Amino acid sequence: MSNKPKPKKMLKADLSLVFIVMIWGTTFPLMKIALGNVNPFYFISLRFITAFIVLTLLLNKKLKKINFRTFKIGSFLGLWLFFGYAFQIYGLQFTTASRSGFITGLSVIVVPILSIFILKEIPSLSSWLGVLLALTGMYFLTGFTEAGFNYGDLLTSFCAVSIAMQIVFLSKYIKDEDPLVITWLQITTVMILGTIISFFETSAGSLSFNSIWVIIYTGIFATALAIFVQSRAQQFTTSTHTGLIFSLEPVFGAIFSFLILNERMQTMGLIGGALIFLGIILSEMGTKNLGDQHE
């Protein structure tokens, strides 16, 4: 039997992923405006505490029905999600934003490679072409021109792998689980670890009225809603598609930075964004699974 998602359901799932990536794009300029003086892990802690409260209120009685298998899966996925945040934040202390953006985007190529070994899923030729186009687009978009490889780049590489692992393992386990419960467990894991680390930071920084609203917005929409939509969508689409669509994050970040902060994208950035969009369109042409060979 084929494990290939149905085209209509896959398209709907992919469009919902585009929607949450667009939400993530809005956080770039908002965080730049409101969170300049807030310690990163302090912000992560407050953001995930907000998401935790919202989802706990929504789940209510469902939390009592969580079994040990579901707890292990959700916590395991949350651990990879936390590693993604942690390695990116620490990596940024030793490398530039453009290098961090590009290296984080390397998860787009790591996902299909991991999918072959973990999911026994062979991406189609069109998906591989889409990945290469998106990777090239990421190169142009981030302006990754500096030579050499430093300690910050190494840490950010771990971030890219962590993001890819979360995407691939979510595809592996989510089909038999309640996406809302899995979302709550992931968020709870990141909240706990982020809060623990924030206590070891030298200073929490200062919170303004704008900072509080950004924390509420990112906690509800860019965290609780976004991770739930990802968990739900990956029941109907492939990990490769998810990784490709996530490469749109800096594109939407640039668009909203222009609309809100009037930051203009250079010609190379426009070319990069167009290549990423083209790569995603190519990826919609299909995915081949190992199981298809036995039909």
The answer, yes or no, to whether residue 27 has pLDDT greater than 60, is yes
Given this model, what pLDDT does residue 148 score? 64
Tokens matching residue 187 = 């968020």
The answer, yes or no, to whether residue 178 has pLDDT greater than 80, is yes
- Per mean pLDDT, which range of 65-69, 96-100, 268-272, 273-277 is the poorest? 96-100
Q: How confident is the model at residue 158 (pLDDT cuts 50, 70, 90)?
A: very high
Given this model, what pLDDT does residue 251 score? 84
Given this model, what pLDDT does residue 204 score? 65
Percent of the chain with pLDDT over 70: 89
Long-range contact set of residues 90-97: C-beta below 8 Å, sequence gap at least 24: 90/155, 91/152, 91/153, 91/154, 91/155, 91/156, 91/158, 91/159, 92/152, 92/156, 93/152, 94/150, 94/151, 94/152, 94/153, 94/155, 95/150, 95/151, 95/152, 95/153, 95/155, 95/156, 96/146
> Considering the entire predicted model, what is its pTM?
0.86
